[in-house]
Chain A
Amino acid sequence: MKTVYFDNNATTKVAEEVLAEMEPYFCQFYGNPSSMHTFGGQIGTKIRQAREQVAELLGCDPSEIVFTSGGTESDNAAINGTLAAVPNKRKVITTRIEHQAVLAVCRELENHGYVVVELAVDKDGQLDLNELQENIDDDTALVTIMYANNETGVIFPIDKIAEIVTSRGVVFHMDAVQAVGKIPLNLSKCHIDFLSLSGHKLHGPKGVGVLYVRKGTRLSPFMLGGHQEGGRRAGTENVPAIIGLGKACELAAKSIKEENDKIKQLRDKLEDAILKRCPDARLNGDKHNRLPNTANISFEYIEGEAILLMLDKFGICASSGSACTSGSLEPSHVLRAMGVPFTAAHGSIRFSLSRYNTEEEVDYTLEKLPSIVNRLRELSPFVAK
């Protein structure tokens, strides 16, 4: 059975070009870039190249790139590293719909005497920027807000947010894990102090990410040991993964516009047809300010995990914000923050596409999904015959 992979916000396929670039650095050029000999030292050139490739995609200087083990490490490092660098300020502002890698860190801070403000979102998943403005005060050490939401794909007006935050002299961290490679970004035109990204969300390998640190921004080293990454993040470099991430960024920079037109077209076709063919289905999140690849749709009166398992039987991979798939007993904190009723939150399905998806796959899914929804509705006590 063929696999139709519509779960690209969870992880993506490693691009063939990326794998080819990585391959020699396992058995052939396995040296340590910190070594004095040529065999190891030459690897440093490749790491430098990767740093440039990432910087090119982000519109920043290569010296501002710190390689990490992924998005979660970058988020943890930015938040904790900033607070360690400004020990006299005790307030952090974030939103209720951040990824757990930010939210869990902030909530832990509360247990250590920090004041954490979680900004609310409206029914479209958008912030009230006045509320952000009102909450920034002299005690505020950091504002950490995501660029694009992983569940709904909703994009925040990051230029405006950056302007509000940095004009008050407060450090701004942006979790851009879902946005990088999907929508254009230029750090030279927008004052962001820290940015997190993850390799495996843009067709790079797992286990590698980046923390962008704007020149002049104070950050305490977050991994102590050797001198790697300018002493900020010690530990021998994950050489093949860093090289792969560099290549993935190069590919993304080249094709972001053209590919996203294609992805958006497929997403729109899938989304429009589902909403048309399945009664009591609703779209979650701001329809207009959204990643081109993500569709989050709720099917009322049925439960997400059951839908996923039936899709799985046909080889279709998606994800859900239902309680049964969240690892807890409550449905998605993002949908709940948006005020999506429980009836719809439990039955939410996220389809997230990539450049490797085809129209044929969309058609195949459209052929299977409506009957799955109907079948589960026949079982549901909340649907009148």
Chain B
Amino acid sequence: MWDYTDKLKDHFFNPRNVGEIKNPDGVGEVGSLACGDALKLTFELDENGRIKDAKFKTFGCASAIATSSVLTEMIKGKMLDEAAKITNKDIADYLGGLPEQKMHCSVMGREALEAAVENYRTGGKKKHELEGNIVCTCFGVTDKEIERVIRENNLTTVEEVTNYCKAGGGCGGCKGEIEKIIETIQGDRVKQPIHPSPRKSTKLTNIQKIQLIQQTINEQIRPALRADGGNIELIDVDGNKVIVAFRGMCAQCQLAEFTLKDVVEAKLREFVSQDLYVEEDKDSAQQPHNHRG
């Protein structure tokens, strides 16, 4: 049971400004069905550049709908430049607060507003484009977006970042990267991370190396493969050669070779040692599972 404020409930049960403006001056569309929430914001300006009307359509949970509703209420009557300054925190505050796990709804509101303003300013029909490089592939969140929610909301843990922009909330494979972004921005202020990622040290004993390889597979690699119904097993370590076997979907996947180099080897080099290289042990692969559906 989410702890929603009365104001939020009011905007959920009685949403304001539902719909789409015909021939709007600005349109912003963010989110998708796959992500679980999506918002289409349209607005219309008067002759002085003031927002005369704004409407929304939202697919999502109660807080996504309420957030959209208050957003339209907040921007109506404001000059465009003034409205464009609204942050996700402003939206959450206006509602009297949002549960932590729902902060991403307020970020979606701010993103839609930005997209709509950009659409008005560039005049183009093009969709809001993502800036930066994708960090979280499950939810399509970029490093720029992650940096921004960290700065604007003073976030210090991966969990908070997930609550605010969903990054890291799918397979979890990008949590290490999110941690690095937090450290870069927050520096010493960062609390000790809850799941410390394996760290490279200068000289590893064989036992340390094998343990670190296993830990990296468990924490960094397997979760990403799991998301697609795959799996991986560490067979052996011979000097710098790491021998693994793919299981599940991965065992018969056409892209296994790509996964081997681009995911497995890359992660092991990042977290254990640059000298490692990976080989697949095809002999130990068991009968492939017939995945259907």
* A residues at B contact (CB < 8 Å): 96, 110-111, 115-123, 128, 130-131, 134-135, 137, 301-306, 309-310, 313, 322-324, 328-331, 337-339, 342-343, 346, 378-382
- In the complex, whether B40 has a CB less than 8 A from a CB of chain A is yes
Pick 9 A–B contacts, CB within 8 A, sort by A.
A96-B229, A110-B231, A122-B292, A134-B287, A306-B62, A306-B64, A338-B293, A380-B57, A382-B38
Interface string of B86-114 (1 = CB under 8 A from A): 00000000000000001000000000000
- Distance A59 CA – B207 CA, assembled complex (angstroms): 51
Pick the residue among A310, A324, A330, A379 that contacts B138 (CB under 8 A).
A330
Most buried by B among A135, A302, A304, A382: A382
- Distance A48 CA – B264 CA, assembled complex (angstroms): 55
Give chain A residues whose Cβ lies under 8 Å from the Cβ of B38.
Answer: 381-382
| Distance in Å: Cβ of B214 to nearest Cβ of chain A | 8
- In the complex, whether B12 has a CB less than 8 A from a CB of chain A is yes
Determine whether the beta carbon of A135 is less than 8 Å from that of B218: no
- In the complex, whether B53 has a CB less than 8 A from a CB of chain A is no
Determine whether the beta carbon of A115 is less than 8 Å from that of B233: yes
15 additional contacts (CB under 8 A) given A135-B287, A303-B36: A117-B248, A117-B289, A118-B231, A120-B229, A120-B291, A121-B293, A123-B293, A131-B290, A135-B286, A303-B59, A306-B12, A322-B61, A339-B293, A379-B15, A379-B18
Determine whether the beta carbon of B231 is less than 8 Å from that of A116: yes
Tell me how many residues of B have a C-beta within 8 Å of chain A.
42
* CB-based A-B contact count at 8 angstroms: 107
Closest 7 CB pairs of A and B: A329-B169, A305-B61, A381-B57, A324-B61, A381-B40, A323-B36, A122-B293
Determine whether the beta carbon of B293 is less than 8 Å from that of A301: no
Determine whether the beta carbon of B36 is less than 8 Å from that of A119: no
Give chain B residues whose Cβ lies under 8 Å from the Cβ of A342.
Answer: 33-34, 36
- Distance A96 CA – B290 CA, assembled complex (angstroms): 14
Give chain B residues whose Cβ lies under 8 Å from the Cβ of A303.
Answer: 36-37, 59-61, 64
Determine whether the beta carbon of A381 is less than 8 Å from that of B290: no
CB within 8 Å for A120 and B34 given contacts A115-B233, A303-B59, A322-B61: no
Cβ-closest chain A residue relative to B219: A111
- In the complex, whether B58 has a CB less than 8 A from a CB of chain A is yes
Determine whether the beta carbon of B293 is less than 8 Å from that of A135: no
Determine whether the beta carbon of B13 is less than 8 Å from that of A313: yes
- In the complex, whether B44 has a CB less than 8 A from a CB of chain A is no
| Distance in Å: Cβ of A328 to nearest Cβ of chain B | 6
Determine whether the beta carbon of A306 is less than 8 Å from that of B292: no
